[in-house]
């Protein structure tokens, strides 16, 4: 089998763009970038086909990398069913998003006022795909780590793509830094895990490690538990799980294609992929698996509650992503690797779809804003992502509406869309394996459907709540066509692993051992579908109906949340029976927002207070304290004071040198008496 390397093509595109990008203009840049990724997709397809004949896969050795004594880490690619699945997904989605980005970024760079930055975007984008390819095709942990940090770097660069924008002009840059640093904490776990692995196995090659785990695993449960827990720490960083999820909402500062590709479809799933890859280890370490499942489930639920309280269209999706990643983590935690991977793939489809559509919405609104601004002098700050500025876009942007709806339904788990199958498989597994996890996930499923319903209703239904919304218009086909393709995938993605056929299971079986096939569980499906429908209904009751009834709604309505509702008797009855359950949720989600009564999205208690103030400020204060007090005040001062004391003594000695001869004679005499005294003592 000829070694197929996707990296080649994306690297090639990267290089061409770095070198020529500036001179050759947008058309060329986008062409190179898209064709590079497209080529990578093609290679992935070829690989997929090749693997049909050799499902056991192959390893392509490229070069030695780090070789010290018995540590030998090569640059080598592992092509097997698991990595091929990821490659297909990544390159496929990437290609679509690249194409979408051609259109989106064309507009974006003009809105933001720096068209010259267009090539840079695709350079980063290509670099990202390359890094992601390294990550998924690595044949050892260290090389995986290369991709792991590489995608983190691209994420950093792309979040801060508009580095002069954001809060105080620096918000985006800070968001990027936050992402990188938070990821580094995870990476620390990954590093330590690698050290532990090497200490135990003497190799970082997957093959060796897994072989060791299978043969000696039971004797080394302790070590493996430690290894897997540290790996889990890495995964929580990369895949935005508790407690390290905080960077992801802020990461929405990047252009929307970035959110779609990196922060929804591909990079954030790396943690899940890594755990799935490490299945042989996790299947030995029950504790770690249990912890993983629990973290996943709690995150899924927790993030969903927050998503309910969001007004920023992308933030809702961001929390939703966290929540869905929680599903996947829970899945791999309970041993349902295939279900996890399955959800990973379908989620990539519909979440990418949702993000891209939201980008379409945002740009539509921006267009509208732009258009409506003509004739008006100046204008107050306008947030094109705030859902309260939207409403009724269904008619202004029909294509976007439909694809968005498909994505939302897929996410909510409405059959027969992709999300239904993948999510149901997880729930079915969870119901068998772990009740707590199941309950949390089911609750999360309900919330998911609720907030997606809320979003759809706020964005596309009701009245257009702003001038911009009134003037919003549909985007060009270069953006809508990828949306439609993704919508199609989100629709039929469930076919990958239909109950009873389990094509994905048997495909992945070649790579991941210990796969257990979970049969379709009618009971679980019914419950989850019912929950979803119930939630959508509730959303409709809350938002859909009221929006239509009330019409021109005060956008500040939600500032006061439940209090506002309490004051407005009009909905008191409506709220009573539906919001009996909702209010506590809303309160809960609101309680996590710093500054009651102030709508400051993205500044949740946990991430704002704990991370920005306690950790960030505290660390800064510590650093300054150490700098001024400890380093200058103590260490430096200690050494300086030795000089100071010496100089002080020197001044004393100077005083002794009084200029009086008789003093000098006395000094001589003192010497005489002392020396004679010493001699007398010696002589005795």
Partner 1 sequence: MELLTLVTFSPLLGILVILFIRSEQKEVIRWVALITSILTLALSILVFLRFDPTNPDLQLMVNIPWIEVSDFQISYQLGVDGISIMLLMLTAILTPIAILSSWTAIQDEVKNYMLFFLLLEIGMVGVFLALDLFLFYIFWEFSLIPMYFLIGVWGGPRRIYAAIKFFLYTMAGSILMLLAILWLGLEGRHFSLPALLETSASIPQNIQLWLFLAFAIAFAIKVPMWPFHSWLPDAHVEAPTAGSVILAGVLLKMGAYGFVRFNLTLFPHAAVRLAPWMAVLAIIGIIYGAILSFAQRDMKKLVAYSSISHMGFVILGMFAINFYGVQGSILQMVNHGLSTGALFLLVGFVYERRHTRDMSQFGGLWKIMPIYGVLTLVVTLSSMALPGLNGFVGEFSILLGAFESKVLGSYWFGGVAALGVILAAVYLLTMFQKVFLGPVTHDENKSLKDLNVREIICLVPLLIFIFWIGVYPRPFFNLMAPAAEKLVTALQAAAMAVH
Partner 2 sequence: MTIDLAIFIGLALISILTAISMLLSRDAVYSALFLVLNFLAVATLYLLLHAAFIAMVQITVYAGAIMVLFLFVIMLLGPSRDKLGGPFRWQLPVAVILGLGLIAEMALMLTARSDALPAGAAGLGEVFGSPASVGKLLFSEYLVPFEVTSILLLVAMVGAIILTHRGKQKGL
Partner 3 sequence: MNVPTSYLIGLSGILFSLGVLGVLIRRNTIVIFMSIELMLNAANLAFISFARMMAPAVDALRGQVIVFFIIAVAAAEVAVGLALIVAIFRNKETVNIDEVNSLQG
Q: Residues interacting with partner 3, by CB under 8 A?
A: 654, 657-662, 665-666, 669
Contact assessment for residue 468 and residue 386, using Cβ atoms and an 8 Å cutoff: no
* Residue closer to partner 1, measured from CB, 68 or 681: 68
**Could you tell me the smallest distance in angstroms from the CB atom of residue 655 to partner 2?**
12
Query: Helix 435-460 and helix 522-539: axis angle, to 10°?
Result: 30
Contact assessment for residue 382 and residue 468, using Cβ atoms and an 8 Å cutoff: yes
Dihedral of CA atoms 388, 394, 398, 402 in degrees, nearest 10, equals 90
Choose from partner 1, partner 3, partner 2, none: what does 503 bind? Cβ within 5-8 Å by kind. Answer: none
Q: How far apart are CA 268 and CA 191, in angstroms?
A: 18
Contact assessment for residue 441 and residue 530, using Cβ atoms and an 8 Å cutoff: no
**Could you tell me the smallest distance in angstroms from the CB atom of residue 642 to partner 3?**
23
Does the footprint of partner 1 cover residue 181 (CB under 8 A)? yes
Choose from partner 3, partner 2, partner 1, none: what does 661 bind? Cβ within 5-8 Å by kind. Answer: partner 3
Choose from partner 1, partner 2, partner 3, none: what does 199 bind? Cβ within 5-8 Å by kind. Answer: partner 1
Q: How far apart are CA 629 and CA 618, in angstroms?
A: 15
**Could you tell me the smallest distance in angstroms from the CB atom of residue 676 to partner 3?**
11
Query: How many residues of this chain interact with partner 1, rule: CB under 8 A?
Result: 55
Choose from partner 3, partner 2, partner 1, none: what does 667 bind? Cβ within 5-8 Å by kind. Answer: none
* Residue closer to partner 3, measured from CB, 563 or 665: 665
Contact assessment for residue 96 and residue 348, using Cβ atoms and an 8 Å cutoff: no
Report the site for partner 1 in 112-151 (rule: CB under 8 A). 114, 142, 145-146, 148-150
The Cβ of residue 553 has, within 10 Å, a number of other Cβ atoms equal to: 18
Choose from partner 2, partner 3, partner 1, none: what does 659 bind? Cβ within 5-8 Å by kind. Answer: partner 3
Name the nearest CA neighbour of 535 among 459, 615, 444: 444
Q: How far apart are CA 636 and CA 52, in angstroms?
A: 67
Does the footprint of partner 1 cover residue 647 (CB under 8 A)? no
Choose from partner 1, partner 3, partner 2, none: what does 150 bind? Cβ within 5-8 Å by kind. Answer: partner 1
**Could you tell me the smallest distance in angstroms from the CB atom of residue 72 to partner 1?**
10
Q: How far apart are CA 58 and CA 78, in angstroms?
A: 6
Choose from partner 3, partner 1, partner 2, none: what does 66 bind? Cβ within 5-8 Å by kind. Answer: partner 1
* Residue closer to partner 1, measured from CB, 640 or 657: 640
Q: How far apart are CA 38 and CA 122, in angstroms?
A: 13
Tell me the backbone φ, ψ of residue 202, rounded to 5 degrees.
80, 15
* Residue closer to partner 3, measured from CB, 52 or 663: 663
Does the footprint of partner 1 cover residue 622 (CB under 8 A)? yes
* Residue closer to partner 2, measured from CB, 115 or 677: 677
- Among the candidate windows 35-43, 64-72, 272-280, 339-347, which touches partner 1 by CB under 8 A? 64-72
Does the footprint of partner 2 cover residue 652 (CB under 8 A)? no
**Could you tell me the smallest distance in angstroms from the CB atom of residue 630 to partner 1?**
8
Q: Among 631, 670, 671, 672, which residue sits at the site for partner 1 (rule: CB under 8 A)? A: 631
**What would you measure as the largest C-alpha separation in the chain, in angstroms?**
117
* Residue closer to partner 3, measured from CB, 501 or 673: 673
Contact assessment for residue 479 and residue 400, using Cβ atoms and an 8 Å cutoff: no
**Could you tell me the smallest distance in angstroms from the CB atom of residue 471 to partner 1?**
29
Q: Which two tokens stand for residue 22?
A: 């500036």
Does the footprint of partner 1 cover residue 326 (CB under 8 A)? no
Half-sphere exposure of 238 (CA within 13 A, CB side): 35
Report the site for partner 2 in 654-673 (rule: CB under 8 A). 658, 660, 662-663, 666, 669-670, 672-673
Tell me the backbone φ, ψ of residue 74, rounded to 5 degrees.
-95, 165
* Residue closer to partner 3, measured from CB, 625 or 648: 648
* Residue closer to partner 3, measured from CB, 591 or 666: 666
Q: For 481-491, b where at least 16 C-beta lie within 10 A, e where not — what string? A: ebbbbbbebbb
Q: How far apart are CA 77 and CA 5, in angstroms?
A: 8
* Residue closer to partner 1, measured from CB, 425 or 607: 607
* Residue closer to partner 3, measured from CB, 632 or 665: 665
**Could you tell me the smallest distance in angstroms from the CB atom of residue 661 to partner 2?**
11
* Residue closer to partner 3, measured from CB, 2 or 654: 654
Does the footprint of partner 1 cover residue 534 (CB under 8 A)? no
Does the footprint of partner 1 cover residue 450 (CB under 8 A)? no
Q: How far apart are CA 489 and CA 9, in angstroms?
A: 25
Which residues, in sequence order, are bridge partners of residue 205?
140
The single residue listed with the structure tokens 């209904």 is 537
**Could you tell me the smallest distance in angstroms from the CB atom of residue 628 to partner 3?**
37
In a 10 Å sphere around its CB, with 0-12 CB exposed, 13-18 middle and 19+ buried, how is residue 635 labelled? Answer: exposed
Q: How far apart are CA 605 and CA 590, in angstroms?
A: 9
* Residue closer to partner 2, measured from CB, 68 or 681: 681
Name the nearest CA neighbour of 436 among 245, 293, 321, 328: 293
Choose from partner 3, partner 2, partner 1, none: what does 654 bind? Cβ within 5-8 Å by kind. Answer: partner 3
The Cβ of residue 462 has, within 10 Å, a number of other Cβ atoms equal to: 25
Q: How far apart are CA 584 and CA 312, in angstroms?
A: 21
Does the footprint of partner 1 cover residue 270 (CB under 8 A)? no
* Cβ partners under 8 Å of residue 337, min gap 6: 276, 279, 331, 508, 512, 514, 515
* Residue closer to partner 1, measured from CB, 96 or 179: 179
* Residue closer to partner 3, measured from CB, 52 or 657: 657
List C-alpha distances in Å: 180 to 102, 149, 153, 330, 489.
Answer: 26, 9, 7, 24, 31
List C-alpha distances in Å: 387 to 233, 463, 466, 561.
Answer: 34, 12, 10, 15
**Could you tell me the smallest distance in angstroms from the CB atom of residue 648 to partner 3?**
15
**Could you tell me the smallest distance in angstroms from the CB atom of residue 660 to partner 3?**
5
- Among the candidate windows 63-71, 266-274, 525-533, 569-577, which touches partner 1 by CB under 8 A? 63-71
Choose from partner 3, partner 1, partner 2, none: what does 60 bind? Cβ within 5-8 Å by kind. Answer: none
Choose from partner 1, partner 2, partner 3, none: what does 145 bind? Cβ within 5-8 Å by kind. Answer: partner 1
Q: How far apart are CA 400 and CA 103, in angstroms?
A: 15
Positions that interact with partner 2 (CB under 8 A): 658, 660, 662-663, 666, 669-670, 672-673, 676-677, 680, 683-684
Positions that interact with partner 1 (CB under 8 A): 63-71, 75, 114, 142, 145-146, 148-150, 153, 156, 160, 163-164, 169-170, 172-174, 176-177, 180-181, 184-185, 187-188, 191-192, 194-196, 198-199, 619-620, 622-624, 626-628, 631, 635-636, 639, 643
């Amino acid at each position: 089998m000829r070694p197929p390397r996707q990296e080649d093509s994306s690297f090639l595109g990267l290089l061409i763009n770095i070198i020529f990008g500036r001179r050759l203009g947008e058309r060329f840049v986008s062409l190179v970038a898209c064709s590079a990724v497209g080529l990578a997709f093609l290679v992935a397809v070829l690989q997929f086909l090749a693997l049909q004949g050799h499902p056991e896969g192959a390893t392509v050795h490229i070069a030695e990398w780090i070789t010290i004594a018995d540590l030998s880490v090569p640059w080598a690619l592992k092509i097997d069913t698991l990595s091929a699945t990821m490659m297909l997904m990544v390159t496929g989605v990437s290609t679509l998003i690249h194409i979408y980005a051609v259109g989106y970024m064309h507009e974006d760079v003009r809105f933001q006022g720096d068209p010259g930055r267009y090539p840079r975007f695709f350079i980063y984008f290509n670099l990202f795909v390359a890094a992601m390819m390294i990550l998924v095709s690595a044949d050892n942990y260290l090389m995986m780590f290369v991709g792991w940090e590489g995608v983190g770097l691209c994420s950093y660069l792309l979040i801060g793509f508009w580095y002069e924008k954001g809060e105080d002009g620096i918000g985006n840059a800070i968001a990027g830094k936050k992402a990188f640093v938070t990821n580094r904490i995870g990476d620390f776990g990954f590093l330590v895990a690698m050290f532990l692995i090497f200490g135990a196995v003497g190799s970082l090659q997957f093959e060796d490690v897994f072989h060791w785990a299978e043969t000696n695993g039971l004797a080394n449960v302790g070590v493996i538990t430690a290894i897997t827990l540290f790996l889990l720490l890495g995964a929580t960083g990369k895949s935005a799980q508790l407690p390290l999820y905080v960077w992801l909402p802020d990461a929405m500062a990047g252009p929307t294609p970035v959110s779609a590709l990196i922060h929804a479809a591909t990079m954030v799933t790396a943690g899940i992929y890594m755990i799935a890859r490490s299945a042989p280890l996790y299947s030995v370490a029950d504790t770690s698996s249990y912890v993983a499942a629990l973290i996943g489930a709690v995150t899924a639920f927790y993030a969903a509650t927050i998503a309910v309280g969001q007004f920023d269209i992308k933030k809702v999706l961001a929390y939703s992503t966290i929540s869905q990643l929680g599903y996947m983590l829970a899945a791999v935690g309970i041993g349902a690797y295939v279900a996890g991977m399955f959800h990973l793939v379908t989620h990539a489809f519909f979440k990418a779809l949702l993000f891209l559509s939201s980008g379409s919405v945002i740009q539509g609104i921006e267009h509208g804003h732009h258009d409506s601004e003509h004739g008006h002098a100046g204008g107050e700050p306008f947030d094109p992502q705030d859902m309260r500025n939207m409403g009724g876009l269904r008619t202004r942007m029909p294509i976007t509406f439909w694809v968005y709806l498909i994505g939302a339904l897929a996410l909510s788990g409405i059959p027969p869309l992709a999300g239904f199958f993948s999510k149901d498989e997880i729930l079915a597994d969870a119901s068998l394996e772990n009740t707590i996890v199941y309950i949390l996930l089911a609750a999360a499923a309900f919330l998911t459907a609720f907030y997606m319903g809320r979003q759809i209703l706020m964005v596309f239904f009701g009245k257009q709540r702003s001038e911009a919304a009134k003037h919003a218009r549909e985007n060009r086909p270069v953006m809508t066509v990828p949306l439609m393709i993704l919508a199609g995938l989100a629709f039929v993605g469930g076919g990958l692993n239909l109950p009873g056929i389990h094509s994905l299971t048997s495909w992945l079986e070649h790579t991941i051992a210990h796969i257990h096939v979970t049969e379709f569980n009618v009971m679980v499906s019914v419950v989850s579908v019912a929950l979803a429908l119930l939630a959508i209904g509730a959303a409709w009751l809350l938002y859909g109906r009221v929006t239509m009834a009330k019409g021109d709604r005060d956008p500040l309505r939600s500032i006061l949340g439940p209090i506002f509702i309490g004051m407005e008797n009009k909905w008191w009855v409506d709220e009573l029976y539906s919001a009996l359950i909702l209010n506590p949720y809303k309160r809960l989600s609101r309680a996590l927002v710093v500054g009651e009564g102030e709508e400051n999205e993205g500044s949740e208690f946990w991430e704002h207070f704990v991370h920005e103030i306690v950790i960030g400020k505290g660390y800064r204060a510590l650093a300054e304290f150490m700098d001024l007090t400890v380093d200058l005040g103590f260490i430096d001062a200690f050494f300086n004071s030795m000089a100071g004391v010496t100089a002080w003594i020197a001044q004393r000695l100077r005083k002794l040198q009084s200029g009086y001869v008789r003093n000098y004679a006395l000094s001589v005499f003192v010497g005489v008496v002392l020396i004679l005294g010493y001699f007398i003592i010696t002589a005795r």
